Structure 1
Amino acid sequence: MKTLQSISNFAGKYFAFIVILFSVLAFMVPSMFTMFSAYITILLGIVMFGMGLTLKASDFKLVFTNPIPVLIGVVAQFSIMPTIAFVIAYLLNLPPQLAAGLVLLGSVPGGTSSNVMVFLAKGNVPLSITMTSVSTLLAPVMTPLLLLIFAGQWLPVDPMSMFMSIIQVIIIPIILGLVVSKFLPTVTEKSIPILPLVSIVAITIIISAIVAGNKENIATAGFLVFIAVLLHNAFGLLLGYFAAKLFKLSKQDQRAISIEVGMQNAGLGVSLANSYFSPLAALPSAFSSAWQVITGTFLATYWAKRELKNTSASDKPLEVKRVEEF
């Protein structure tokens, strides 16, 4: 178990580079990974099951004790990111599939790796965890609705079908994880140290499968997709920060909301794009999965070195209790 935990820690530390390495390998030898395309939804379900295992009632405590930062953060999440995606897709004149895929990336909830970044940045970790949890639970309604509003001009969107898919791939696995955690706490406790490794393997396979199935598209449109994803992530981090600053939230809250808004659940974006649009539409989410971890790490390192002023004892960073998944 200690060996697996060490491997898990190593994989978590170098997750972005692992994804890049396997993406390059998938591009060069696509036959090694195309077989996994049929299992993308199952793999994402495994990741969300792991999230359910680590969720606690305390993750939602802030919703009742200090709801304003949570409300500001979640509203920013579901307003800033799809709007930015729409504007970028329009200005870059992206093809319909890529435009819809970028909007989809902007419409999914926050990713769990953001919690680790907020911790490293000395931000408000409880706020980060609460935002991730709340936005994930709202995803079955918000993601199809936002897609219908922002992407309907490019591709047909079936919101009810997508609602059911998100319930199946996100909500049900999380509920199952909660049930297992409740009734088999000993098993859950023993499995938690290796959950990040399971999630990293699953996400890496998902992205590699998408890259393998899009070799020709990446060769022709890969740079354009990268620019779109880079701009989307950068403006998400920036505007998320200023949204929190506008409402005069604490420095720690500003850091948490910035990272939460800028880092999306790219795995869900890949799964939904592959199911409802095309493998090409999944490219923005696939590219984002690695890129947002790189930018999140750099931003967290920068903030960690900057002194926090006027920080009350109640706002000090708390240790991350939940094992984060990528």
Structure 2
Amino acid sequence: MTKRICDFIAKNMGLIVLAIGVLSVVFPTPLGSIDTIWINPLLGVVMFGMGLTLNPTDFRIVFSRPKDVIIGCLAQFTIMPITAWLLTRLFQMPEDLALGVILVGCCPGGTASNVITYLAKGDLALSVGMTATSTVLAPFLTPIITWLLAGTFVHVDAVSMFFSILQVVILPILVGFMIQRYMPEFTKRAVAYLPAFSSLTIVLLVGIIVAHNAGKLLTCGLLVMLVVMLHNICGLTLGYGIGRLLRLEHKKCVAISIEVGMQNSGLASSLATLHFAAYPLATIPGAVFSVWHNISGAIMARVYGRNER
């Protein structure tokens, strides 16, 4: 019974995130009463879960198939940041929202991308390898690219962001990885429930961020939703297109598409909360992206799965 509930939660994460997002706008008080100080620990819990599932073999793909990983990571850290910057200029977004969109674009791939790639019958090994690699690169690339794209209109402390990502992302992953290495029995029992547990943690994370910004979402929500949807769709389509242009097989193209299109948007909201308190709307794009990319990911899993070649 418990396993069925966990499977249901993991498979329907997109709908659950959407539901909690809508409820948090309509009834913001319950989750709005939770202090935003909990955003970082909650994200750390998700990253800890990722560490529990990581295996040294996940990094072997970097050495056994370096071309695929390099293509994927280059696409990840060019398509999404540049597209984010272009969209903020095209729609002449206010500085707060523009910063939030750029932060989303500069973050590594999200952990949900591996599940979506599996459901889409893509190259799961490549997806996991890309997620692991882009996450390891994030402390260096995310602050630098954010500084390059957003530093012209806001102050970006790249060094401080570097240490924040180490603390919120890398450290929990390392702890999870070490527990997996030295407590294998515990890990075996925990892994069966991790997708559902991580999904619920992400749901709570999104709910808190949305609830704290419910009023602002009602005033600028349509613009943010439009830009976030376009950003995600561009990532999905351009990621697949680059794979095809370089004559990669369909499964690899699917993995790159999903990995590029699905960002660690929780990290974007966390960085906005930590480092850009003077720009309160900067947390909103990450929250909206967290809702939307799970929905679009589920849709693309069906589309790609049906068109497997």
TM-score tier by shorter-chain length is: over 0.9
SS at match of 1:264: coil
CA shift at 1:154, angstroms?
A: 2.6
Name the structure 2 match of 1:86. Answer: 85
Name the structure 2 match of 1:16. Answer: 14
For 1:58 and 1:119, the matched residues in 2 are separated by 17
| Counterpart contact for 2:18–2:292, Cα < 8 Å | no
| Counterpart contact for 1:97–1:155, Cα < 8 Å | no
CA shift at 1:307, angstroms?
A: 4.0
* Pair 1:280-2:284 in alignment: no
Between 253-262 and 198-207, the greater mean CA deviation after superposition: 198-207
Provide, for residues 38-63 of structure 1, a one-character-per-residue CA deviation record: whole Å limited to 9, x for no partner. 20000000110110011001111111
| Counterpart contact for 2:121–2:308, Cα < 8 Å | no
Name the structure 1 match of 2:164. Answer: 165
For 1:22 and 1:118, the matched residues in 2 are separated by 24
Name the structure 2 match of 1:320. Answer: none
Name the structure 2 match of 1:50. Answer: 49
SS at match of 1:81: helix
Name the structure 1 match of 2:300. Answer: 299
Between 219-228 and 244-253, the greater mean CA deviation after superposition: 244-253
| Counterpart contact for 2:243–2:256, Cα < 8 Å | yes
| Counterpart contact for 1:97–1:154, Cα < 8 Å | no
Name the structure 2 match of 1:290. Answer: 291
CA shift at 1:13, angstroms?
A: 1.4
- TM-score (structure 2 length as normaliser): 0.96
CA shift at 1:194, angstroms?
A: 1.2
SS at match of 1:153: coil
For 2:252 and 2:198, the matched residues in 1 are separated by 27
* Pair 1:242-2:241 in alignment: yes
RMSD: 1.1
Aligned length: 306
SS at match of 1:156: coil
Query: Which contiguous aligned blocks of 4+ residues in structure 1 show a shift greater than 3 angstroms?
Result: none
Name the structure 2 match of 1:41. Answer: 40
Counterparts of residues 133-212 of structure 1 (less than 5 Å): 133-212=132-211
Counterparts of residues 214-293 of structure 1 (less than 5 Å): 214-278=213-277, 279-293=280-294
For 1:24 and 1:293, the matched residues in 2 are separated by 15
| Counterpart contact for 2:235–2:257, Cα < 8 Å | yes
Name the structure 2 match of 1:314. Answer: none
| Counterpart contact for 2:21–2:291, Cα < 8 Å | no
CA shift at 1:35, angstroms?
A: 3.0
For 1:306 and 1:238, the matched residues in 2 are separated by 15
* Pair 1:112-2:111 in alignment: yes
SS at match of 2:294: helix
* Pair 1:26-2:15 in alignment: no
For 1:54 and 1:61, the matched residues in 2 are separated by 15
User: Structure 2 counterpart of 1:290, which letter?
Assistant: V
CA shift at 1:124, angstroms?
A: 0.9
For 2:26 and 2:122, the matched residues in 1 are separated by 40
User: Structure 2 counterpart of 1:43, which letter?
Assistant: L
| Counterpart contact for 2:17–2:206, Cα < 8 Å | yes
SS at match of 1:42: helix
Between 154-163 and 112-121, the greater mean CA deviation after superposition: 112-121
User: Structure 2 counterpart of 1:29, which letter?
Assistant: F
CA shift at 1:196, angstroms?
A: 1.6
CA shift at 1:4, angstroms?
A: 3.2
For 2:82 and 2:129, the matched residues in 1 are separated by 23
Between 160-169 and 8-17, the greater mean CA deviation after superposition: 8-17
> How many percent identity over aligned positions?
43
For 2:147 and 2:88, the matched residues in 1 are separated by 15
SS at match of 2:109: coil
